[in-house]
A and B are shown apart, each in its own frame.
Chain A
Amino acid sequence: MMLNILIDDKKIEAEEGKNLLQACLDNGIYIPNLCHVKDMAHPQASCRLCFVEIEGEKKPVPSCSVTVREGMRVKTDTPSVRRLQRSAFHLLLSRHFIECKVCPANRKCELQKIAKFLKVGLKSNYPLLLPKAVLETGKQETDESHPIFNYYPNRCVLCGLCIHVCRTTHGIALLTFAKRGIDTVISFYGEEDVSRLPGDKCLACVNICPVSAITLKSLS
């Protein structure tokens, strides 16, 4: 059944059971997001960018975790929505090593897209939280433990899409979150036997990464 919802005075139709963020994206209404993919069973709701205001609710809510309801009235561009989005974005940037010119994600990078949309630059309002060695040498860290891929923790926004896509492709995730707090990274399960890995036949994690934090070794 199709439901009618109102987004910023624009009437759209959305299928029952669909999540609000997807409904907006399907109708050409962009809401910044990093950790969302279509048809995810349970939204991760971890990037905290897709906030919207829904009539009847006191505070902005992440639209990826809301199921559409008939007659729902949604605002995507209120001051409190933008405040949270910009704040989250600046926080992500304070942990992101900016090197756009030489970055493989340049021009297709989600962070660049969001910065443009939120009308903010790529310089964080917060002091950079990168490891000392990175700030001193101006060179980012590389995790080369995987036989085929390189992982760049100072680029990574920890959206978790690589883990999600790996799990859906192979039934089991060959990478995982490791450590905690500010030190959280994506990790491959140590030195794996290359013959047991799909190798360069599967590039799902490389292709889905919004910021090119995982790349093929042979290309870097």
Chain B
Amino acid sequence: MTETLHQCWTAIREEAKARRNAFKEAAVPKIHIGMATCGIASGAMETKKAFEDALAEQNIEARIHTVGCAGHCYAEPVVVIDHPASGFPPIFYHQVTAGKAKMLTNLFLKEGDPRFEHVYGATEINELIPSVMEFPRFNQEKRIIMEKCGRIDPEDIHEYIAEGGYETLVKVLELPPEQVIAEIEKSGLRGRGGAGFPTGRKWALARRAHGENKIVICNADEGDPGAYMDRTILESNPHQILEGLMICAYTVGARKALIYVRAEYPLAVKLVTKAIEQAKELKLAGGNILGTGFDLDISVFQGSGAFVCGEETALIQSIEGQRGMPLHRPPYPVEKGLGGEPTVINNVKTLASVPPILEHGADWYRSIGTENSPGTAIFSVVGDVLHAGLVEIPMGVSLRTLIFDICGGVPNKKKFKAVQIGGPSGGCLPEHFLDTPIDFDSLTAAGAMMGSGGMVVMNEDACVVNVSRFFLDFTQKESCGKCTFCRIGTCHLLGILDRLTKGEGREGDIESLESLSEDIKDGSLCGLGKTAPNPVLTSIRYFRDEYEAHIREKKCPGKMCRPLTAFYIDLDKCARGCDACVGCCPVDAVFTTRNRKKGIDQALCVKCGECMVACPPQYDAVRKVSPPELAPVIERPATKESHP
């Protein structure tokens, strides 16, 4: 058996390496374009087309290499041009529009001028161009899960194999499963879906559970607003997830594996389906894998996009064709899951961590991160940060380092106000928590939670009450409607928050929010309900004054809640005869005063803020205030031209 295994594998690996070397050593320039959903949304398709056209036009021979996403969303579409003949190292270009693509083809590929004004950095250390590795956004990350993301073509299994992929699976297939589980337990890997359950223990429970048809499921039902870690990994390196899934299946003794992806991720579905087919062709999946006698049937299940289906019992119900409603646990799926069989459900990032752990060993993994949370965490950092995108950092790094050093801090000279971690189940942490280390236990202690990796940074213009309202609106809509607290309770929370943001808050509202939140937390059936009040509870805990301002002064400190704000024009600054704000007002609320300055008719104003944008910076005359009474009254002169 071992001989056939090694023979098969060596043939596959050598083939893959030969392909890679042929590609690498080809003398022509290579253009690597990030083509994951984020890249495509920013125009990577057009960029690729522009390169193709320009190359054909100029009659230049070059290879276009489509890769996944490296996480640098702020820079999309990202292109790396490797033009050895020019004497320059491979260069990272950001925001490569179609026009830029054409220009780079003409000037760099043809004439050898890399156009320094457009260069972001070289991808390797060299003497000619500063390397991106000198930037904190690149060098402070620690890539384990996303190591190959953005470097390989997700549609070509050979590229993954040439980079050392599936090597761990081959190694594992010769080991007793218990030894593999022991190694995972020793590594201290905790589930990356949010709850942080020890993965090794889950696998051990599943291995011991009785059942002829055990199943392993990769949970890619990612649904937090603003989080897209799982999608990016699926679109950039699906094989690493497959490898982790296969190792999991082998160790727990499953013959069937499922990848549960939401149908709203069409590219991820397409790429992971293709990855499975390619693995089957090479006999890395399907029947009798590499001649070892281990069979594994892997398929993709497309979820319909209900947030609650990320909860494991609801996920199982949904696969079984039932309405996606969570069940009471226990029994846990590892004992009795899909079709009553023991079922292991692991998050995408958990499974993608498995191959590197087994490749380098548990001790290596433990050397990264903290004692109780080893390894790395991936966050999709969005909101008011300069370098938004996916960041993989070792656990234990502080929030400050992540937000200010790695992601470049808050842009436009605004002040940092809060960070929402863990999406709708997480919490909102203020400035004095910036030195909190990022790990499962510290974040939970602070009232937030690790979650699956959503992180929204807010500047001083954000209103925490409105942000809580946003998240409650989400959970309330996504509640499956099964249990009383989640179905009705979240709706009442939303009702109170709605009133607060409209300036209709009453004394006692904060206390009602708190007590109802506690009841929902203790009384709900599943994780969705139990965590739904977290944004409310943490924001009250850390920003109680803002809630009070909404109620007592009808004031929104972030000036975000429209009914509590007003715009007016500072007559000392307004320039006589300037009409910039008049034309942009969608409701004709701006009028001209007797001395040919401008005023805003508060009765007509819809508070869109367009006038503030339109006012030329040298005048900067439009002011926004809260509460609205602070706006001075400017009489509209009664003329014939005045508004009817």
Using a CB–CB cutoff of 8 Å, the interface residues on chain A facing chain B are 42-49, 51, 59-60, 62, 65, 80, 83-84, 87-88, 91-92, 94-95, 126-127, 129, 158, 160, 176-177, 179-184
Contact = CB atoms under 8 A, between A and B. Distances in A.
Contact of A183 (B481, B485, B519): B481
B328 A65 contact: yes
Contacts of A51: 523
B483 interface: yes
B478 A91 contact: no
Contacts of A92: 484, 488
B476 A182 contact: yes
Contacts of A44: 328, 482
Interface string B237-250: 00000000000000
Given A45-B328, A87-B516, A87-B523, A180 B485 contact: no
Interface stretch (B116-124, B489-497, B533-541): B489-497
B481 A42 contact: no
Dominant SS at the B interface? helix
Nearest to A45: B328
B327 interface: yes
Contacts of A47: 483-484
Contacts of A180: 306, 477-481
Interface string B205-229: 0000000000000000000000000
A91 B525 contact: no
Contacts of A46: 482-484, 525
Interface of B: 306, 323, 325, 327-328, 476-485, 487-492, 495, 516, 519, 522-525
A36 to B, nearest CB: 12
Given A84-B519, A180-B479, A158 B487 contact: yes
A45 B495 CA distance: 26
Given A59-B522, A91-B488, A179 B481 contact: yes
**Residue among A83, A87, A88, A180 facing the most chain B CB atoms (10 A cut-off):** A180
B511 to A, nearest CB: 13
Given A48-B483, A65-B328, A182 B522 contact: no
Main secondary structure of the interface of A (DSSP, over half): loop
A87 B488 CA distance: 11
Contacts of A49: 484
A87 B479 contact: no
| Residue of A158, A182, A183, A184 with most chain B CB atoms under a 10 A cut-off | A182
Nearest to A94: B488
A63 to B, nearest CB: 12
A45 B529 CA distance: 13
Nearest to B482: A46
A181 B485 CA distance: 11
A92 to B, nearest CB: 6
A91 B495 CA distance: 13
A91 B483 contact: no
Nearest to B308: A180
Nearest to B492: A126
Contacts of B483: 45-48
User: Nearest 4 pairs between A and B by C-beta?
Assistant: A184-B481, A45-B328, A91-B488, A87-B519
A182 B491 contact: yes
B528 to A, nearest CB: 11
Nearest to B325: A177
Nearest to B516: A87
A84 B476 contact: no
Nearest to A179: B481
A62 B328 CA distance: 10
B469 to A, nearest CB: 16
A83 B518 CA distance: 10
Contacts of B476: 181-182
B598 to A, nearest CB: 40
29 contacts: A42-B327, A46-B525, A47-B483, A47-B484, A48-B485, A48-B524, A62-B328, A87-B485, A87-B516, A88-B519, A88-B523, A91-B485, A91-B488, A94-B488, A94-B492, A126-B488, A126-B492, A127-B492, A127-B495, A177-B323, A177-B481, A180-B478, A180-B481, A181-B477, A181-B478, A181-B481, A182-B491, A183-B481, A184-B482
